[in-house]
C-alpha cells in the first residue's frame, strides 16, 4: 500500500450503497461515503475531480452495461467498484453469471486507472443477512480473487464489527446512516494509504439499552409497511428504484460539494 499518496481524481461505480442512501442532506439529496471521501481528497489536492456514476437498485449487469464504459473512459486516478450485492438478494440469482460480469467489470476498469478499489460490502446483523450469507460470501471470494489478479485494493467492510451494528443502519435496514457512511469513507481513505483520521472506525458505538418489546414491534411494523412490502413489490414486477434515474454526478469535474471544506470528527458524523 502506498503511503502519503496523491490522487487527483476519483470515479465511483455501483448502486445505492455508492450513491449514498440513506445519508440524507437538508436539501433532500444524498451524500454518502464516496462524497465524503471526495471531500477529503479535494481538501488536500487543488483541482481534484470527482464523478459518481452509481444509481440505486442497479444489478451487476446494468452496472457493466451503463457505468463501466464511461468510468473507464475518464482515466481517473482511482475507481471504486461495488456491485453484485443487489443480485444476491434476488429470489433467483445465477451466481455464475454474477461472477462473470464482475470479472468483466474488473478486467475493463483495472487497466484504465492508477488504482482500482473493490469492497466486501457491509452486512447488518439479522435474518436477511443469514438467509443470503452464502451468496454474499461467494461474491466476496470472487472479489478477493479478482483483486489479487489485477492489483486492486479490497476494503473489508463485511468483517468490520461496527458495520454489523443495527444502529448504523437506516430504518429501511438496507442502507447505512450518515455515521455508517462516514466509517466507510474512513476505511477507503486508510486503504488508499492516507493517515487515519479515525482509528476506531471498526468499533461499534457505545452500548445502549435495547428498545422494549413494544418499540421493537412498532419498528418492525413500520419497516414492513414502508420498506419491505414496496421492495417485494418491485422484485415481483421486475421494477427497480433506480429505473429512469440518472447518475448523481455523471461527469468528472472539480469537486466542491458537501465535505470539501470540512474534516469529519472521529467517532461521529460531520457536523
Residue with cell string 443470503: 132
pLDDT number for residue 170: 86
- How far from 128 is each of 73, 80, 90, 173, 192, CA to CA, in Å? 37, 26, 12, 9, 31
Specify the 3-state DSSP secondary structure of 164.
helix
Residue with cell string 471531500: 39
User: Is residue 232 over pLDDT 60?
Assistant: no
Residue 63, domain member (yes or no): yes
Lowest mean pLDDT among 47-61, 102-116, 158-172, 177-191: 158-172
Residue 94 buriedness (CB in 10 A; 0-12 / 13-18 / 19+): exposed
Q: Give 222's pLDDT tier (boundaries 50, 70, 90).
A: low
Residue 267, domain member (yes or no): no
Residue 231, domain member (yes or no): no
User: Is residue 25 over pLDDT 60?
Assistant: yes
User: Is residue 13 over pLDDT 60?
Assistant: yes
Task: Report CA torsion sign: 240, 241, 243, 248.
Answer: negative
pLDDT number for residue 171: 76
For residue 119, is the peptide bond before it cis, meaning its omega torsion is within 30 degrees of 0?
Answer: no
Residue 219, domain member (yes or no): no
User: Is residue 80 over pLDDT 90?
Assistant: yes
Containing 146, the helix (H) or strand (E) segment is: helix 127-150
Residue 146, domain member (yes or no): yes
175 near 21, Cβ under 8 Å? yes
Alpha-carbon distance of 222 to 216, in angstroms, equals: 10
Q: For residue 82, report the phi and psi dihedrals to the nearest 5 degrees.
A: -135, 115
Residue 213, domain member (yes or no): no
Alpha-carbon distance of 271 to 258, in angstroms, equals: 11
pLDDT number for residue 239: 56
Q: Give 126's pLDDT tier (boundaries 50, 70, 90).
A: low
- Residue 57: CB partners within 8 Å, gap ≥ 6? 15, 16, 86, 234, 240, 241, 242, 243
Residue 181, domain member (yes or no): yes
- Domain of residue 201 covers 9-205+242-254
User: Is residue 109 over pLDDT 90?
Assistant: yes
pLDDT number for residue 227: 47
Q: Give 174's pLDDT tier (boundaries 50, 70, 90).
A: confident
Residue 225, domain member (yes or no): no
pLDDT number for residue 266: 38
Specify the 3-state DSSP secondary structure of 119.
strand
CATH number at residue 75: 3.40.50.1110
User: Is residue 270 over pLDDT 50?
Assistant: no
Q: Number of folded domains in the chain? A: 1
Mean pLDDT of 87-112: 95
DSSP 24: B
Q: Give 147's pLDDT tier (boundaries 50, 70, 90).
A: very high
User: Is residue 146 over pLDDT 50?
Assistant: yes
Residues 90, 174, 262, CA angle at the centre, nearest 5°?
135
Amino acid at each position: 500500500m502506498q503511503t502519503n499518496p496523491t490522487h487527483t481524481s476519483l470515479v465511483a461505480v455501483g448502486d445505492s450503497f455508492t450513491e449514498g442512501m440513506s445519508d440524507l442532506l437538508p436539501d433532500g439529496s444524498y451524500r454518502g461515503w464516496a462524497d465524503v471521501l471526495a471531500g477529503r481528497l479535494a481538501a488536500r489536492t487543488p483541482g481534484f475531480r470527482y464523478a459518481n456514476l452509481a444509481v440505486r437498485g442497479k444489478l451487476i449487469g446494468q452496472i457493466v452495461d451503463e457505468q463501466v464504459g464511461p468510468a473507464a473512459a475518464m482515466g481517473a486516478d482511482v475507481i471504486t467498484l461495488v456491485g453484485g450485492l443487489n443480485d444476491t438478494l434476488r429470489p433467483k440469482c445465477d451466481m455464475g453469471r454474477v461472477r462473470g460480469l464482475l470479472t468483466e467489470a474488473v478486467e475493463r476498469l483495472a487497466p484504465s486507472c492508477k488504482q482500482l478499489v473493490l469492497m466486501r460490502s457491509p452486512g447488518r446483523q439479522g435474518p436477511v443477512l443469514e438467509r443470503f450469507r452464502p451468496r454474499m460470501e461467494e461474491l466476496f471470494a470472487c472479489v478477493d480473487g479478482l483483486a489479487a489478479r489485477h492489483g486492486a485494493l479490497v476494503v473489508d467492510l463485511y468483517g468490520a464489527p461496527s458495520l454489523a451494528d443495527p444502529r448504523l443502519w437506516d430504518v429501511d435496514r438496507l442502507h447505512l446512516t450518515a455515521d455508517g457512511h462516514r466509517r466507510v469513507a474512513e476505511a477507503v481513505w486508510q486503504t488508499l494509504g492516507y493517515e487515519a483520521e479515525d482509528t476506531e472506525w471498526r468499533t461499534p458505538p457505545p452500548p445502549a439499552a435495547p428498545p422494549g418489546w413494544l418499540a421493537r414491534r412498532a419498528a418492525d411494523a413500520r419497516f414492513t409497511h414502508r420498506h419491505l412490502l414496496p421492495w417485494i413489490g418491485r422484485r415481483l414486477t421486475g421494477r427497480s428504484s433506480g429505473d429512469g434515474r440518472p447518475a448523481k454526478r455523471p461527469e468528472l469535474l472539480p469537486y466542491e460539494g458537501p465535505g470539501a471544506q470540512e474534516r469529519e470528527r472521529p467517532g461521529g458524523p460531520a457536523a
